[in-house]
């Protein structure tokens, strides 16, 4: 019988791209393994997964944390609806394994898998697990965590520290690529898959303050859709060498060419930055659940692999100071690059793949239980 893995989650690139990394690793390991995704229509997965060639089932789901009034009631209504959709999808597809990578769709799908006795693997990317994954960890067969400190939030016997999964092209060793020799100091500005308004504004304000270095700097800036035209206008007036886009697809190439990365502190971004051995100016998203981005950033800051700038400290002069300091202190920059590279987990995807294969093997040796449970629910789908 053909093995089928369903990966649940998305919403943002930080949740989606670890799932894509795992999906590609599964297909690379065994082309006969079928991989499907479950997400929402509003998430980034609806745009990205068709380009990647993976099937996407969308369900109704929304977050509850931080919601008030009507929005909270709408989220509560979507929860049972999304669970019913998930249940029907799993019964029809009969997967051998469900993997939750975070995001709104992960909760209903993983809960449905537990009801149907389908093995579950949860992957937690952040130093402090979110509310949903803390709950799902209690019913998961296995839990893979990116940070050692995260293990204490889950059942000890089920946890493995793997690191955060990243795309294969990003986790290549530094020696696999020729060093870029352009003479330009290349700044890569990221605000997450949807951009970050505060970072966009601070970077624009910084341009005038670093104008004396204009001839030595190239800036690649991912703005998100809403600020794209405004940011482009400011770069056009500045005289800098620049590349402004709403979303960057060739991230591996951009990381390799960069001298300094200015970014949020989502777990996937930090995994990519350290895998490439890049120095980062980390600006945690201040409204992240449990303030997990700041906790993520402090790990790099304490290892002298990145610089922490809190969002309320963010300004044009502050960003300009970081850029100029990096340009004028190449030896310190090189030391921080090495520290960053040492923190990288370039084999994380392979570790999670190994857990998946072990669970798939166990499932194949114990047929029948999931099938019988699914049969009990099948009439509710028609």
Question: Which pLDDT tens digit goes with each residue over 337-350?
Answer: 999 999 999 999 99
CB 80 within 8 A of CB 64: no
Q: What does the block give as tokens for 119?
A: 């093995």
Q: In this predicted model, which residue has the larger pLDDT, 369 or 170?
A: 170
Domain ranges of the chain: 4-166+347-381, 174-343
Q: In this predicted model, which residue has the larger pLDDT, 139 or 13?
A: 139
The H or E element containing residue 155 is none
SS3 189: strand
- Would you say residue 159 has pLDDT above 90? yes
CB 121 within 8 A of CB 140: yes
Instruction: Judge whether 4-166+347-381 and 174-343 match in fold.
Output: yes
Task: Give 278-299 pLDDT, tens digit per residue.
Answer: 999 999 999 887 888 999 999 9
> What does the alpha-carbon distance between residue 249 and residue 24 come to, in Å, rounded to a whole number?
17
CATH class of 4-166+347-381: alpha beta
**Extended beta strands in the chain, E state:** 4-8, 34-39, 55-58, 97-100, 120-124, 142-145, 159-161, 185-189, 217-222, 241-245, 260-263, 280-282, 306-308
Q: What is the pLDDT of residue 212?
A: 95
Min mean pLDDT across 127-131, 263-267, 270-274, 290-294 is at 127-131
SS3 221: strand
The 3-state DSSP composition of the chain as helix, strand, coil percent (nearest 5) reads 50, 15, 35
CB 14 within 8 A of CB 267: yes
Report the pLDDT averaged over residues 159-169.
93
Q: What is the mean pLDDT of the chain?
A: 89
Q: What is the pLDDT of residue 304?
A: 98
CATH of domain 174-343: 3.40.50.2000
Q: What is the pLDDT of residue 126?
A: 86
Q: What is the pLDDT of residue 176?
A: 65
The H or E element containing residue 358 is helix 348-365
Global confidence as pTM? 0.83
* Residue 249 binned pLDDT confidence (cut-offs 50, 70, 90): confident
What does the angle CA 41 – CA 42 – CA 43 come to, to the nearest 5 degrees? Answer: 95
> What does the alpha-carbon distance between residue 21 and residue 311 come to, in Å, rounded to a whole number?
30
Q: What does the block give as tokens for 12?
A: 């943002």
């Amino acid at each position: 019988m053909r093995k089928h893995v369903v990966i649940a989650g998305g919403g943002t690139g930080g949740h989606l791209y670890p799932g894509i990394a795992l999906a590609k690793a599964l297909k690379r390991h065994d082309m006969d393994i079928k991989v499907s995704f479950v997400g929402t229509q509003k998430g980034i997965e609806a745009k990205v997964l068709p380009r990647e060639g993976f099937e996407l089932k969308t369900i109704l789901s929304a977050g509850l944390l931080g919601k008030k009034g009507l929005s909270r009631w709408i989220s509560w209504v979507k929860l049972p609806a999304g669970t019913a959709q998930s249940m029907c999808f799993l019964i029809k597809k009969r997967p051998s394994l469900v993997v939750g990578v975070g995001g709104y769709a992960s909760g209903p799908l993983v809960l449905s898998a537990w009801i149907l006795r389908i093995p579950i693997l949860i992957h937690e990317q952040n130093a402090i697990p979110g509310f949903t994954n803390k709950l799902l960890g209690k019913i998961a067969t296995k839990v893979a965590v990116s940070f050692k400190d995260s293990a204490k939030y889950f059942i000890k016997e089920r946890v493995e520290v793997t690191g955060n999964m990243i795309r294969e092209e990003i986790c290549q060793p530094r020696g696999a690529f020729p060093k870029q020799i352009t003479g330009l100091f290349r700044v890569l500005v990221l605000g997450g898959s949807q951009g970050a308004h505060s970072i966009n504004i601070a970077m624009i304000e910084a341009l005038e303050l670093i104008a004396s270095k204009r001839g030595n700097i190239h800036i690649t800036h991912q703005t998100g859709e809403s600020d794209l035209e405004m940011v482009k206008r400011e770069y056009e007036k500045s005289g800098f060498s620049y590349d402004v886009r709403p979303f960057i697809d060739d991230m591996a190439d951009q990381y390799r060419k960069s001298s300094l990365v200015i970014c949020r502190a989502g777990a996937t971004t930090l995994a990519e930055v350290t895998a490439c051995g890049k120095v980062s100016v980390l600006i945690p998203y201040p409204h992240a659940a449990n303030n997990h981005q700041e906790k993520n950033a402090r790990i790099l800051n304490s290892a002298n692999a990145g610089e922490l700038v809190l969002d309320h400290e963010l300004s044009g002069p502050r960003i300009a100071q970081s850029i100029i300091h990096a340009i004028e202190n190449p030896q310190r920059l090189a030391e921080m690059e090495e520290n960053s590279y040492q923190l990288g987990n370039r084999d994380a995807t392979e570790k999670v793949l190994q857990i998946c294969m072990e669970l798939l093997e166990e499932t194949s040796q114990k047929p029948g239980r999931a099938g019988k449970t699914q049969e009990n629910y099948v009439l509710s789908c028609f």
